[in-house]
Amino acid sequence: MRRLVGVGDGTLWAATAGGVYRRDSDGEAWTLVGLGGVEVNDVSVCETDPTRVWAASSSGLFVSADGGDAWAPVESESFVVAGRRVEAFIGVGVDPNDCDRVVAAGPWSTSQDRVFSSVDGGATWSDRGAQAPLARLLSLGGGEFALGTQAGEVVRVSVPGPTTALLYRHPEGVGVADLVLAGGDLVATVGGDGLRVIDPSGIEPTREIADFAPGGEQGFVEAVAADPAVPGRVLYFVSDVIPMLYELNVSDPGAVPSPVELPEPGLEALSVWVESGGEWIGTNEAGVFRRPSGSAEFVHASVGLRAFDVADFAFEPTGSGVLLAGGAAERGSGSGGLARWDPAAGRWERWSGEGLPPGSAKGVVYRGEEAWVLVDALGLYRWDGEIGSWENRSTGFTSSTDRRSMGSFLVHPAEPDRLLAGASPSLFLGTLGGDEWARVEGLPETSRQPWAVAAVPLRGGVRLLAGGGNGSSGWIYGSDDGGETWEVLVDAVPPVLCLAASQRGTGRVLAGTAEGLWLSEDGGGSWGRVADAPSEVPVNAVTVADSHEEWMAAFVQGQGVIVSMDRGAGWAPAVGDGLRADDGSTTQVRCLRFEPGGARLVAALRHRGLWSIDLPTAAEAFEGKISVVSVESSGEVMLRVEAPAPVDAVLLSSDLVNWSEEPPTEEIRYSVFGGGIRPIYVRLRGPAGRESATYQVVVEVPGAEAPSGGGEPPGGGAEPPPSGGETGSSPTGGGGGGGCFLDVLGGRG
């Protein structure tokens, strides 16, 4: 979020790093109306004709003549000054009573912005000279505009005419953060030095409000807004040590600021707006909040707003459709940087909870009732569903290195108490569920990129992989004993940026490097460059499907997402809306995942939320039959497996991660840890080139104190419907144990 503005009809506009959004007065949701994927720094609407909207962006100046439905770039020879063109614009303002009078400004050099004005609605422009870099451009009405600069100046520009007047200069050059017109006064927030009440005409002396956060830390004063219904009342945000929102009547020199409780601790408000119907806060990563008129509390009001970075995301492994996103997600992710998708309600829910500090979640792992989140610069936290709170699991890591150097992590599939953290420049191993951490000795140091980590289930166990690089060379190390000892698997690759591995025992691993894509078919033992993928360019994200063995995908920097559906033999671009911004640039992909059991590829995008594309449906999986024979209190389950075609292997997992391979006999024993209702995933894999299918079975395991049962088998069984068909079930019974067939996840192998 960069800027919130409104007009008299109640419509609200938002300039975001992912385009221009509009919220109509009679609606509850935000709509992307233009410049999708473009970093928009400011937006201005003419109050007498709200169909005329201006946007200042990193890709230039844009105008809409129809309320945002269509946008056109604004070009002018005046934007070229002394042979240097102003390519980006940081601010724009339009006179509320004369839509033809416009002022815009953008960077002209590293130390100066250039200011331009128009008296004919942007048909022609005049160069108004250079100013220190701008922080805010505000229309004062009557052809007057105020510019707040990072050098601590407030300058008045008249349109038309050459008149420019200095209204205020901070004696120590502390930068202006925001400007607002409150009645007859111009109020400026001045960084870490309070507020200034300025006469727009420049006749009256400036009044200083230095005690802007009474009784608290004097942090940085940033966003400010004026109440149109109460003359002189302003709201302003103070960041730094303790973020706080304050209200103050600037018309009364003796008034004392009053704190207003933020909707969540640690929020960073970038823009504040007050209208007759309530107050609005636009935040950095947590979306938009509204406090309706007469209410004491702010509520989340970001439905439809997708312009957020998503650093990482994870699917709940049981196939429930629950999704976690970290960093910032579609419709906002909260100050704790975590959002949970509720498939029943069809919306994101903010998830922070006790113990999770404010910050951006740059890594997430979801394991049923257990979730892990890596909060940027703060550490690794674990959600315990039984106690309903977050626990800091990186205190031991802090003593070894700076937490902000941690860039990736994983939980060992077979030993949940073991964790691996990829940091820069070292790799760290966590034991006792992350209560103890130790640096992995004997490995080289990475230069800038944190170690990339992955786990590869193999026939003999689980192999941990760690890839990194220094300069122009890279390496991949492996450990077959849970991270205790490591050996180099390959050191003749470019610097490794990311790793992804099949979780079904195939040994297939993808490595994204600084110079292309590499593939291993034997768990990392040997590697080869993917010839059909672009080379000599960085590959920043990779993924391998769990339900479709042949499917893989990668993000190639500057070129987009490529997909292989034949085990890496051939690669083709993934075509879909949203992968490119409206200015033609390639959207940056933070991470890629295949939806469990589905044919959908999902990507976390920079400033675009989550994007997905449906891939071609694989051949229909054959229909087998899975029956629960018995369930013991020890957690041992006996399954009967029947298939109409030859089966090469039966793979089983209780979390879609830790697959174990069993011989294709008629009855299979499998151990489920923990009592209660537990899912088991069974995959019948045919010989090479043959179809296969994944099934979900739910069993109820008695508690440890319950009798072992040994009663009648539950009987029945279930014939799975085709992939995507209706749910089937089988009866339960016998000694408190039971099972029912839920769904066939489908896929080809």
Does the N-terminal peptide bond of residue 425 adopt cis geometry, omega within 30 degrees of 0?
yes
Per the domain annotation, does 708 fall within a domain? yes
Per the domain annotation, does 735 fall within a domain? yes
How far is residue 697's CA from residue 737's CA, in Å, rounded to a whole number? 13
Q: How many CB atoms lie within 10 A of CB 689?
A: 7
Instruction: Read off the pLDDT band of 744 (50, 70, 90).
Output: very low
Q: Nearest 5°: phi and psi at 404?
A: -70, -10
Is residue 741's pLDDT more than 50? no
Residue 272 · residue 224 · CB < 8 Å: yes
Instruction: Read off the pLDDT band of 66 (50, 70, 90).
Output: very high
Per the domain annotation, does 372 fall within a domain? no
Residue 573 · residue 553 · CB < 8 Å: no
Q: In 3-state terms, what secondary structure has residue 228?
A: coil
Residue 667 · residue 652 · CB < 8 Å: no
For position 287, what pLDDT does the model report? Answer: 84
Is residue 76's pLDDT more than 90? yes
Q: What is the pLDDT of residues 378-414, one digit of tens each?
A: 788 998 877 888 998 887 776 556 666 778 899 998 8
Q: How many CB atoms lie within 10 A of CB 119?
A: 18
Is residue 469's pLDDT more than 50? yes
How far is residue 286's CA from residue 296's CA, in Å, rounded to a whole number? 20
For position 657, what pLDDT does the model report? Answer: 62
Q: What is the pLDDT of residues 539-578, one digit of tens each?
A: 999 999 876 767 899 999 988 899 998 888 889 888 766 6
Q: What is the pLDDT of residues 262-311, one digit of tens each?
A: 888 778 899 999 998 799 999 887 789 999 988 888 988 888 888 888 88
Per the domain annotation, does 687 fall within a domain? yes
H or E element at residue 397? helix 395-398
One-letter amino acid at 406 equals M
How far is residue 362's CA from residue 152's CA, in Å, rounded to a whole number? 35
Is residue 342's pLDDT more than 90? no
For position 216, what pLDDT does the model report? Answer: 62
pLDDT over 90 percentage in the chain:
44
Is residue 709's pLDDT more than 60? no
- Which pair of structure tokens corresponds to residue 623? 């229909």
pLDDT over 70 percentage in the chain:
87
584-591: average pLDDT: 84
594-608: average pLDDT: 82
Q: What is the pLDDT of residues 347-362, one digit of tens each?
A: 777 777 788 877 778 8
User: Where residue 689 sits, what CATH number does that domain have?
Assistant: 2.60.40
Per the structure, the complete domain to which residue 683 belongs is given by: 625-744
For position 722, what pLDDT does the model report? Answer: 27
Is residue 720's pLDDT more than 50? no
Per the domain annotation, does 157 fall within a domain? no
Residue 699 · residue 739 · CB < 8 Å: yes
How many folded domains does the chain comprise?
Answer: 1
Cα–Cα separations (whole angstroms), residue 317 to 88, 369, 594, 653, 672: 44, 10, 12, 10, 15
- More confident of the two residues 133 and 614: 133
DSSP class per residue in 247-266 = EEETT-TT---EEE--SSTT
Of 155, 149, 127, 145, give the one whose Cα is nearest residue 136.
149
For position 729, what pLDDT does the model report? Answer: 26
> Tokens 């709200």 appear where?
50
- More confident of the two residues 688 and 647: 647
Q: What is the pLDDT of residues 113-157, one digit of tens each?
A: 999 999 999 999 999 999 999 999 999 999 999 999 999 999 999
> Tokens 């601790």 appear where?
265
Residue 518 · residue 499 · CB < 8 Å: no
Among 42-56, 163-177, 375-389, the minimum mean pLDDT is found in 375-389
Q: Beta strand pairing status for 12-16 and 323-326?
A: unpaired
**CB-facing half-sphere around the CA of 505: CA atoms within 13 A:** 19
240-266: average pLDDT: 88
Average pLDDT in the chain: 83
How far is residue 189's CA from residue 154's CA, in Å, rounded to a whole number? 11
> Tokens 């049981």 appear where?
318
Beta bridge partners of 68: none
Is residue 55's pLDDT more than 60? yes
Q: How many CB atoms lie within 10 A of CB 121?
A: 17
Per the domain annotation, does 142 fall within a domain? no
Per the domain annotation, does 114 fall within a domain? no
Q: What is the pLDDT of residues 203-214, one digit of tens each?
A: 999 999 988 888
Per the domain annotation, does 650 fall within a domain? yes
